[in-house]
Structure 1
Amino acid sequence: MFENKKTVIFETLGLILGCISMSVGINAFLKPHTIAPGGLSGLSVVLNKVTGVNVSVIMLVICVPLILCTIKIMGMKTSMKTLFGTVVFSIILQLTDGLSRMNLANDVLLSALAGGVLVGLALGIMFKADASTGGTDLIALVLSKKFPNLKPTQFMSCLDGLVVISSGIVNHSIETALYSGVALLVIVKIADIVMEGFESSKAYFIISEKPEELRARITADLNRGLTIFNARGGYTNNDKDVFLVVLNQKRQETALKRLVKQVDSTAFLIVTDVHEVLGNGFKEIQ
């Protein structure tokens, strides 16, 4: 019961913080220059330019019917949570609408970057809190039901691309579309950073003719654990041990390479980037 309350509070706070950041990004930096970096918010900015109707009103008019149409697909609980997020976002977007008339940044590129950072930060926060304000993913769900041979992600990519292009059309400037594309790239990158953090981990696969000495040195000198796989050489047909070592500190990466060279200069190393590492010695599994 207590854990459930904590989850609700976490999701609500994440939603509110995300909505504030996204609203400021849209009203202060994107909307004044008709920069529309995909998504339902970007589409609303484009339609606002054409019709003059408030962005928050456009979002409600588009999103509410979509949520009702996708109840069977998403389920009642998820749909109601998304509807709540849409309403909260629309309210905060309306409250911060005055920012769009303050001319905080006249440089279009800086506006695209600043708006992209704030919207990306908002999406990352909401993704981590499992909150949602709806968006083009709802349109993609509806279209994928009509055209089952195509994936929702394909529709989302097409829709985002169309929104970016339409921003240039309504503003009669190809530069606006390019700035919208820049903002979209920034949003995706910032959202990924918020979700995954700045930590970069690497996995090392090591094959050595001196496996026992190397194992002892890695565990003693680096104080790191490792996993040993039994393998067989395809060329020699000899049995070999393959070590897997995962590191998240640059200093230890250099130390590991130096250590391997000292123990066995003929060792074979494969180094690969790791998307995310969870568990003992790394980030806790949430």
Structure 2
Amino acid sequence: MYYRWFKSYLGVTFGVFLTALGLDAFLVPAKIAAGGVSGIATILYYMVNLPVGAVMLALNIPLFIWSSLRLGWRSTVNSLYGMITLSLFIDLLAPHMPLITEDLLLASLYGGVLMGIGLGLVFRFNGTTGGTVLAAAIVRSYVGINVGQLLFLIDAIVVVWAGVVFQSVELAMYALITIFLTSWIIDRVLEGFSSAKAFIIITSKAEAVGDAINKELDRGATAWKGKGMYTGMEREVILTIVGVTQVTKLKAIVQEQDPGAFVILAHVSEVLGEGFQGLEGKK
């Protein structure tokens, strides 16, 4: 129990550190306000010279209190640790961070990658950093609008505001690149970068196909009975997971053992269990 608790907070802390690094090293120096509370804080930093981390914390506190009252303490208490540590990391790192690049494209890309990995880790370890996620959840509790749509709307407003304040359409465009890249990376961290593929094979020769999978690919397979709704014929359905480099070989095995088999091939985001290491399927 204590190990799991320690691992969770360690993961959130590392994720928060990467998020802060992405902001301090790339996004804030480049004036890229990539939506959300961090984007608002970046704008205010250049308008009135307020520390980014302190502004984020100041904006998050009322959201946290409102969310706790509206949604309950249990649903928002996990936000508190990530919210505070992110603000601290941002303001502690900022004075010591050298200017890495003046190229806006590089700043938007690398900032987006670091923020995506960082926030993905925070979410993966059951934490949050507050911000617009809390705001969207609060608004949704009143009007029932989709959270994703609300987040997109809030980010869009912040990006437009940044474009007006900085008098630069280009900076707003770079911010959009960062937002999309961050969102994509978060999804990949949460779902995994697995290269595994799932095969669903409907065949009348399940024994032969299964044996070949076991012997030639060193893979396990699971079979169950199926019935065609149109023909009424009974067949067996085989499910097996293979690495991406084994896809062609498995297709050849099925073609050799049962040319009339019906095969479905699907991408697998994450594989856990014997024969697979973490998120990577056995190759």
Name the structure 1 match of 2:134: 138
- The count of corresponding residues between Structure 1 and Structure 2 is 279
Q: 1:154-233, aligned counterparts within 5 Å?
A: 154-233=149-228
Could you list the runs of 5+ residues in structure 2 that have no partner in the other structure? Answer: none
Q: In 2 relative to 1, CA 284–77 (structure 1 residues): closer, same or farther, beyond 3 Å?
A: same
Q: Percent of pairs identical after alignment?
A: 33
Write the distance in 1 (CA, Å) between the matches of 2:131 and 2:232.
55
Displacement of 1:195 = 3.1
Q: In 2 relative to 1, CA 240–117 (structure 1 residues): closer, same or farther, beyond 3 Å?
A: same
Selected match of 2:250 from 250, 256, 264? 256
Letter in 2 for 1:213: A
**For 1:6-61, what per-residue CA distance to the aligned partner results, in whole angstroms no more than 9, with x for missing partners?**
23322332233222222221122101222122222122212323333221221122
**For 1:63-96, what per-residue CA distance to the aligned partner results, in whole angstroms no more than 9, with x for missing partners?**
0011011113453355344223222221211112
Name the structure 1 match of 2:114: 118
The answer to whether structure 1 residue 128 and structure 2 residue 124 are counterparts is yes
Name the structure 2 match of 1:274: 268
Contact 1:206 1:270 in 2 (8 A): yes
Letter in 1 for 2:253: L
**What SS is found at the alignment partner of 2:28?**
helix
Q: In 2 relative to 1, CA 255–177 (structure 1 residues): closer, same or farther, beyond 3 Å?
A: same
The answer to whether structure 1 residue 38 and structure 2 residue 32 are counterparts is no
Letter in 1 for 2:84: V
Contact 2:33 2:158 in 1 (8 A): yes
Name the structure 2 match of 1:90: 87
* Stretches (4+) displaced over 6 A: none
Q: In 2 relative to 1, CA 200–51 (structure 1 residues): closer, same or farther, beyond 3 Å?
A: same
Contact 2:27 2:111 in 1 (8 A): yes
**For 1:212-243, what per-residue CA distance to the aligned partner results, in whole angstroms no more than 9, with x for missing partners?**
22222222322322222322234433222222
Contact 1:27 1:99 in 2 (8 A): no
Contact 2:22 2:111 in 1 (8 A): yes
The answer to whether structure 1 residue 245 and structure 2 residue 216 are counterparts is no
Letter in 2 for 1:91: L
Name the structure 2 match of 1:9: 6
Contact 2:67 2:76 in 1 (8 A): yes
- The two structures have a TM-score, normalised by structure 2, of 0.88
**What SS is found at the alignment partner of 2:170?**
helix
